[in-house]
Amino acid sequence: MAQWDRMGSKAPMTAHGPLWRILSGWNRNDRFLAAAAPDGGGRRRTREGHADVARVRTGVRVVGAVLAAVLGASLVGCSSTGGKRAEDRAKAAQAGRPAVSTPRWTFAMVTHAGDGDTFWDIVQKGAKEAAAKDNINFVYAHDDQAQQQAQFVQNAIDQKVDGIVVSLAKPEALKDVIGKAVKAGIPVITVNSGSAQSAEYGALTHIGQDEQIAGEAVGTELTKRGKKKAVCVLHEQGNVGHEQRCAGAKKTFGGTMENLYVEGTNMPSVQAAIQAKLQADPSVDAIVTLGAPFAPTAVKAKDAAGSKAEVDTFDLNESVARDLKSGALGFAVDQQPYLQGYEAIDLLWLYRYNANVLGGGRPVLTGPQIVTADEAGKLEEFIKRGSR
Amino acid sequence: MSTATAVDERLAPTSLVRRLLGRPELGAVVGAAAVFVFFSFAAPSFLQASSLSTILYSASTIGIMACPVALLMIGGEFDLSAGVMVTTSALVSAMFSYQMTANVWVGVGVSLLVTLAIGFFNGFMLTRTRLPSFIITLGTFLMLTGLNLGFTKLISGSVSTKTIADMEGFSSARALFASQWNVGSVTLKVTILWWLALVAVATWILLRTRAGNWIFAVGGGADAARATGVPVVKTRIGLYMGVALCAWISGQHILFSFDVVQSGEGVGNEFLYIIAAVIGGCLMTGGYGSAIGSAVGAFIFGMTSNGIVYAQWNPDWFKFFLGAMLLLATLLNAWVRKRAEAK
Amino acid sequence: MTKSVSPTPYEKSSAPALVQMTDVSKFYGNIRALQGVSLEVHAGEITCVLGDNGAGKSTLIKIIAGLHRHDAGRFEIEGEETVLANPRAALDHGIATVYQDLAVVPLMPVWRNFFLGSEPTKGRGPFRRLDVDFMRETTRAELLRMGIDLRDVDQPIGTLSGGERQCVAIARAVYFGAKVLVLDEPTAALGVKQSGVVLKYVAAARDAGLGVVLITHNPHHAYLVGDRFVLLKRGTMAGSHTRDSITLDELTRQMAGGSELDELSHELERVAESGPEHPSGAADPASGTTAL
C-alpha cells in the first residue's frame, strides 16, 4: 500500500523526464536536414541554428509552464471528496506474511479469462491471498482461447510445479494436457467451469459451479419476480461461459428470453445497442448483463430509452453495489469468485501438506447467491476492497 | 495533341453529375441512403425520433475518432493505436484524479498532455524511423494495451478504475463531455455536437488552409511535397497529434458518462474508425478523402449496428454486414481513383 | 539572402554566374557518386548536363536542389559560397527544380499543385485561409501564358498529359520567381511532338531571363537549346563545352562512345553539315579544360 502511495506522488515527476527528452528530440528532428554539414556552413546556417535554439527554448518554456501549472493545480486543486485519500483513510493496514511453515511450493493457475476481466480479477485476488498465507509461489496465466490455455498448462508441467489450478471452459481441449499433469504426479484442481468433467479427467476436486448453474439461478429469480420478457446481454461474441450463462437463464425462466450481442470493448456502443433493443421492443421487462461493468451502462440505456425494464446482472462491483442499494438494479447473482481462487489454492496446499481432499469427488459449490438491496449494503465494504 | 484535346473537351459543359461523381463522399452518401431506406422498411421502430437519436449517438462516438483518422489516412498513414489510446486517455484522467485526490479537471488536463505525447510519439517514431505506420502504431497499440492493464492493476489493484463520481469537478466535466438534453421523447447527447464541430473544423482545415493542402500532398506524394518545400515531418506529427486530441475527447466522454473505465476497453475500435473513414471515401493509400465522408461512414456504421437490433435480426450476422460494406466501399473508391488517374 | 541583386541580372558575363560549381564531389560512404565536377549557370542561358544512366546526373541535381550536400569543392550562388540546408533553402535562393516525377501530386487539383508549398493566404488568426479565388485565377492565367488552356483547373493534375504536367511544373517555377530552373530529364518519357512542346517552354523560360540547367541523356534535345554542355561519365566530368566550341556530331560522339556511334549516325545525317572536329584538344574559353 505504501508503495502505491509513492507511485502516486512520483507520477508527475517521471512524466516530466521523458517529455523533456521527447521535446529535445523534436528539435533534433526539426533540424535534421540542417545538421551535420561537412564544413563551414556560413552565416546563414549559424543564424538558422540560433533560430532553432530559440524556438526550442520557447517550446521548452511553454511546456515547462504547462507542467508547472498542472503540478500547481494538482496541489492547490485538490478534491476534498472521494479519491485516494478517502480510500487511505478508510483502509487498515493488512499484513501479508505466511502463516505456515511448509516449504515454498509453486502452484500454477491457468484460466480462460479474457484480458481485463473483472470476475477473474477477483478469483486471482483470492488465490493470491491464499498463496501469501500458505507460503506458496503463485503463478498465474490466462487466455480466452483453449489452445493457448492448454499450452500454459503444458508450460506449468514443464516447470514441474507442485500443483495446478485450471478452469475448464472447453473441457475437451484440456483433457490431454490435464491427463499429462496427473500422470506426472502433479495434483490438479479445476475451478469455475467443468464440474462434470473434473473427476473424469483425474482432478482432485472442483471448486465453484458451472456458468450454467449461475444462469439457472437468474432464470428462477426472474420468474419469481414475475418477468415476462427478458434480454440477455452478451458482451463478448463466441465466449462459451457467456453462452452458458444465458442458456441457463433461458432454461429456468418462465417467460421468453432473447440474446443480444454487444461490443464489450466499446462502452458507448453497448449503451446504444441496448437502447436500440428496448426501443425496438418496448415489451421487454428485464435486462440481464453478464458482467458487473455493463450493469450501470444498461441502466443508462434503459433510462435513455424510457423503458421500465428491470436491470439485473451477474457478478458484483462497486457501482453494482451502489445501484443495488439505490434500487436502480433489481438483483445480482454472485458466484463468490474470491472463494473460487482462495479455496483452490488452499485445497492444493492442504493436499500437499496433509493429503486432505474436499468434496468427496463431487464439486464444491461457491454459489450462486442472489444479492439484493439488503445484502448489497452488507457487502459494500468487501466489494470496495475488491474481494467480493 | 494534348492541347488540342483539352480545347475540345472544353466545349462540353461540366455537368453537375460529373462534378458530383468527383466528390470523395459520393460512395458513402449513396450507401447511407441505401442503408437508411433499407432499414426503414426492415425495422418498424427504426424511424422513431428516439431511435434516430440513439443511432446518432452511436455514430457520434465512432465519428469523433473517424474524423481525425480520416485526415491521417488522407495524409497517407494509419493509426492502429487509436482505439486503445481512447481508453488510455480515460484511464490516465481517472487514475490521476483519484490517486492525487485532485480536482477532476486536473486529471483531465494531465490526460490531455499524456495523450498528446502518445500522438507525438507515434508521429515522431514514424518520421524518424521511416518504418511503415502500420508497424509503428501496431507497436504502440500493443504497448498501450499492456500499459493500460498493467498500470491500472498496479495503481488501483483491479482491472477497472475506482469511481471518481463523488469528486470535485466531476459534474462540470460531465457537463462538457457527457451531458444530454431531452427534447420531448428524444435524448440528444453532447457527443453529437462535438462530432459535428470536429467535422466542420476538419473540413475547414482540409479545404481552406495551407495545412490542408499539405495533408493532401503528404498523402498523395510525399516526395513531391518534400521537393516543393512542404514541411512533411511536421504535417505527419500534427496529424498524429490530431488523432490523440480526439482520443482525449472520446476518452473523457467515456469516463464521464460511465464513471468507471475498464482497462481492456477500446481494443478493436481502431478498425471501426478506419472502416468509417474508408466507407467515407478515404483511399487506403492516402491523398484522397474527406472529413464529411468519415462522418457519413460513421453514420452508416451507427445505422447498421443499431438497425440490425431494431430489425430484431440474429445479431450473429452483424460482422458479415460490416465486412461486406467495407468491401463495397473500397471497390467504389478504387474505381474513383482509377477515374482520377486516367489520362 | 541576397535578394536585392542588380535589377538586370540577364546580361551575360557582367554579373557573376547564378550558380557556379567548382570541383564538386559527393561520396555515399566509400562510393564515389560524383568527383571533380564543375559547372556554371548564367542568366538567360541553358546549361545542359549530359550523361548516361548512372553517370551522376541525379546526384548533381540533388546537390543543386539542396537535397544532398556536397563533400568537397566550391558551390557558389551569385558569387557567394553556399551550403544548401534543404530544398526550402534552395528555393529561397531562387533555385527551382522540376524533377522527373515533376513533384506534383496526381490526385490533387491543378491549382492546388501549382501553389503547393507556397500557398497564398488571407485573413488572420484562426481565420487565416487559402486565397482560393486568387489561386484558381492565377493558375489559369499563368498556364494560359505558357499556351495551355485548361478546361478546368479543378481537375486532378494526374489527368493531364505528360507534356502538360511538365509545363505546369515549369510555369510554377517561373511564377515563383525562380532565377535558376533545374529540369531533370524533362523529355525522357515524352514522344517527339510533346518533347518539342516542352523544349519550346524551356526556351521560353530562358528568354524570360532564367538560368536553366537541363539534365538529359539526349544530345539532340540538348543541342537544340543548350548554350553550355557538361558531360558526365561514371561520376566524373568527361567534358565541358560552350556551344560555339562543339558540334552536335561531336557531342553525340562523346556521349555515346565508339561502338554505338554507327547505330546513331543515321540520326545525325541531317545536322552533320558542319563536319567533325576533335573536341578534347579544342580550346574552351568559358569553362576551362575538361577534368580527367
Q: What is the pTM of this model?
A: 0.75
Chains A, B: CB contacts under 8 A, how many?
223
Q: For all residues of chain A together, what is the average pLDDT?
A: 79
Beta-bridge mates of residue C214: C48, C183
CB C280, CB C239: distance < 8 Å:
yes
Question: Is A293–B160 a contact, with Cβ atoms under 8 angstroms apart?
Answer: yes
Q: How far is CA B71 from CA B242, B251, C113, C213, in A?
A: 9, 19, 19, 38
Q: Map residue C29 onto helix, strand or coil.
A: coil
Q: What is the average per-residue pLDDT within A277-292?
A: 92
Q: Contact C130/B220, CB-based, under 8 Å?
A: no
DSSP string of A28-58, one letter each residue:
HHHTTTTS--SS--HHHHHHHHHHHHHHHHH
Q: What is the mean pLDDT of residues C157-185?
A: 84
Q: Kindly state whether B171 is in contact with chain A, defined as any CB-CB distance less than 8 angstroms.
A: no
A5, A23, A256, A266: best to mutate for the B interface, most B CBs within 10 A: A266
Q: Which residues of A touch C1 (CB under 8 A)?
A: 44
Torsion of CA A70, A71, A73, A74, to 10 degrees: 110
**Torsion (CA) B95, B101, B104, B105 in degrees, nearest 10:** -100
Distance from CA of B74 to the nearest CA of A (A): 23
**Per-residue model confidence (pLDDT) at position B342:** 55
CB-facing half-sphere around the CA of A88: CA atoms within 13 A: 15
* Highest mean pLDDT of the ranges A6-20, A214-228, C60-74, C166-180: A214-228
pLDDT at residue A40, rounded to an integer: 39
**B–C: how many Cβ contacts below 8 A?**
117
Residues of chain A positioned with their CB less than 8 A from the CB of C69? 37-38
Q: Write out the E strands in chain B.
A: 180-183, 186-189
Inter-chain contact B54–A237, Cβ cutoff 8 Å?
Answer: no
Contacts of A33 in chain C (CB under 8 A): 85-86
Q: How far apart are CA B222 and CA C113, in angstroms?
A: 13
Closest to B340 (Cβ–Cβ): which among C101, C158, C163? C158
The whole-angstrom separation of Cα A135 and Cα C48 is 85
Cα distance from C32 to chain A (closest Cα, Å)?
16
Strands C72-77 and C19-28: antiparallel
Q: Per-residue pLDDT tens for A173-195? A: 888 899 999 999 999 999 988 88
Selected residue with higher pLDDT from C93 and B246: B246
CA separation for the pair A11, B114 (Å, rounded): 12
Say if the Cβ atoms of B209 and C128 lie within 8 Å.
yes
Residues in chain B closer than 8 A to A337 (CB atoms): none
Q: Between chain A and chain C, how many beta carbons pairs sit less than 8 Å apart?
A: 23
What is the structure's pLDDT at C66? 85
Section A94-119 average pLDDT: 80
Chains touching chain C at 3 or more Cβ pairs under 8 angstroms? A, B
Residues of chain B neighbouring A260 (CB-CB closer than 8 A): 309, 315
For the residues A285-313, what does the mean pLDDT come to? Answer: 92
* Chain A interface test: which of C69, C84, C91 (most A C-beta within 10 Å): C69
Provide the sign of the torsion angle of the four alpha carbons B131, B134, B137, B142, taken in this order: negative
Residues belonging to chain A with any Cβ–Cβ distance to chain C shorter than 8 Å: 33-34, 37-38, 40-42, 44-45, 48
One-letter amino acid for residue B166 of the chain: D
Within a 10 A sphere around the Cβ of C11, how many other Cβ atoms?
12
Q: Which residues of B touch C116 (CB under 8 A)?
A: 213, 217, 224-225, 228, 230
Does residue A2 surpass a pLDDT of 80? no
Lowest mean pLDDT among A39-48, A354-363, B68-77: A39-48
d(CA A194, CA A198): 6
Alpha helix (H) ranges present in B75-163?
A: 82-100, 104-129, 133-156
Q: Give the gap in angstroms from C-alpha C86 to the nearest C-alpha of chain A.
A: 6
Distance CA A301, CA A284 (A): 13
pLDDT surpasses 90 at A331: yes
Helices (H), A306-336: 318-326
Cβ-defined contact of A84 to B101 (cutoff 8 Å): yes
Q: Cis link prior to C9 (omega < 30° from 0)? A: no
Tens of pLDDT along chain B (343 residues) come to 344 444 444 444 455 666 666 677 777 787 888 889 888 998 888 888 888 888 999 999 999 999 999 999 999 999 999 999 999 999 999 999 998 888 999 999 999 999 999 999 999 999 999 899 999 999 999 999 999 988 988 888 778 888 888 889 999 999 999 998 888 778 888 999 999 999 999 999 999 999 999 999 999 988 888 878 889 999 999 999 999 999 999 999 999 988 888 888 888 899 999 989 988 888 888 888 899 999 999 998 888 888 888 887 776 677 787 677 767 766 776 676 566 555 3
Instruction: Give residue-wise pLDDT tens across range A123-155.
Output: 999 999 999 999 999 989 888 777 888 888 988
Question: Which chain B positions have a beta carbon within 8 Å of A19's beta carbon?
Answer: 113, 117
Nearest-Cα distance to chain C for A27, in Å, is: 16
